[in-house]
Amino acid sequence: MRYLVTGGAGFIGSNFIRFLFKKYGDDASVVNLDKLTYAGIRENLAEYEGKKNYRFVHGDIAKPEDVAEAYKGVDGSGVDVVVNFAAESHVDRSIDDAAEFVETDVRGVLVLLEHARRAKLSLRRFVQISTDEVYGSIEDGSFTETDPLQPRNPYSASKAGGDRMAYAYAQTYGMPVIVTRASNNFGPYQYPEKLIPLFVTNALDDQSLPLYGDGKNIRDWLFVDDHCAAIDFLIEHGTNSEVYNIGGGNERENREITHKILELLNKPASLIKQVGDRQGHDRRYSLDTRKLEAAGFKCDTNFDAALEKTVQWYIDHEPWWRAIKERSAEYRAFYEKQYANR
């Protein structure tokens, strides 16, 4: 199969490309189209550079000429499947400035879809990677795929725009679109601005862990390998025009995750620093995953084992995260000040 993966230099995209090569070997060819924003790290996939079935295209999904180049595939013969991971992905950054979020997470999706339509490409699948955040927050129960979308922050509002644009191309033009809405991922190569890698790397450095608000917000944690396997499953067995929730089934309060990380690293609870709350902070995310299970896929990774494995990965890959943290020191200082003042 010939894949076009966008955002493949980021966290989930790089894990997905590695997953494809491990599972399909030379039967898969992958073009990785990535803009290399602050979150894109080309070296994440250094092991595949120079291989005949992998091609990195440095470009922007919102630029038609970059998109046209990537759709050519690794050898000019085109692609069968598009998986669009490319996005601005961090909620705190969207609260500070949403413009890039709209540009990439809405307009970028349009440009990717529109190229396929105008060029009359016969794709097998176009997978739009959406998020559980598009539903908004839920106190009790779980969201099903037919629940209304009520995004509550600029990131999730732009993701909802991309999600519905992809759906519209399925309905209007018959494009073979599948939309996936996954819960909070964790695992190797996650940028250390997100809760788990930020707290693990801060704790390793004996720096404080800035827990927002009362620390009782709930997220449903999904190990990135399960997410990759679910996407691969849906490419093979999903139904076009359908939306699928992908949840890990591991709902935890943030404070529980925080204590677990400290325990695994044998660090004191005194490192926890309760800071002001995120503006519009969603209280709880929860997904009903019966549709995906009925199709034949269930996430089955043990959460505690996966968290331990993830923490170990950060211990073993200090140069990787330290370089990023040094580059982003100014950004962190800015956010620390903002949260301290709330």
Indicate which residues carry an active-site annotation. Answer: 132-133, 155
Residue nearest to ligand NAD (CB): 10
Look at residues 1, 16, 5, 44 and name the one whose alpha carbon lies nearest to residue 226.
Answer: 16
Q: How many CB atoms lie within 10 A of CB 290?
A: 12
User: What sign does the dihedral 8-9-11-17 (CA atoms) show?
Assistant: positive
Partner interacting with residue 67 (select from ligand NAD, ligand DAU, none; CB below 5-8 Å by kind): none
In the three-class reduction of DSSP (H, G, I as helix; E, B as strand; rest coil), residue 157 is classed as helix
* String of contacts with ligand DAU for each residue 284-303, x by CB under 6 A: -x------------------
Q: How many angstroms separate the Cα of 19 from the Cα of each of 45, 116, 158, 231, 285?
A: 11, 25, 27, 11, 26
Task: Please report how close the Cβ of residue 145 comes to ligand NAD at its closest, in angstroms.
Answer: 15
Residues of span 173-202 touching ligand DAU by CB under 6 A = 183-184, 194-195, 198
Q: Choose between 132 and 271: whose C-beta lies nearer to ligand NAD.
A: 132
**Hey, what amino acid is at 286?**
S
The nearest distance, CB 266 to ligand NAD, in angstroms, is 27
Q: Which is nearer to ligand DAU, 175 or 272 (CB)?
A: 272
DSSP assignment of 283-296: -B--B--HHHHHHT
User: Cα 329 vs. chain centroid, distance in angstroms?
Assistant: 22
* Residue 254 sits in the site that holds ligand DAU (CB under 6 A): yes
> Smallest Cα–Cα separation from 190: which of 10, 16, 9?
10
How far apart, in whole angstroms, are the C-alpha atoms of residue 249 and residue 122? 36
Residue ranges of E strands in 142-291: 177-182, 184-186, 209-212, 218-223, 243-246, 251-253, 272-275
| Cα 169 from Cα 326, distance rounded (Å) | 42
Partner whose footprint covers residue 267, from ligand NAD, ligand DAU, none (CB < 5 to 8 Å by kind)? none
Question: Which listed option, ligand NAD, ligand DAU, none, makes contact with residue 36 (CB within 5 to 8 Å by class)?
Answer: ligand NAD
**Contacts (CB under 6 A) with ligand NAD, residues 64-103:** 85-89
Residue 95 identity (one-letter amino acid)? I
Residue type at position 244: Y
Does position 5 interact with ligand NAD (CB under 6 A)? The reply is: no
The entry of ligand DAU, ligand NAD, none near residue 211 (CB within 5 to 8 angstroms by kind) is: ligand DAU
User: Quick one: what does residue 195 bind among ligand NAD, ligand DAU, none, with the CB cut-off 5 to 8 Å set by partner type?
Assistant: ligand DAU
Site residues (vs ligand NAD, CB under 6 A): 6-7, 9-13, 33-37, 39-40, 60-62, 85-89, 104, 108, 129, 131, 159, 182, 184-185, 191
Site residues (vs ligand DAU, CB under 6 A): 89-91, 131-133, 183-184, 194-195, 198, 210-212, 217, 219, 254, 278, 285
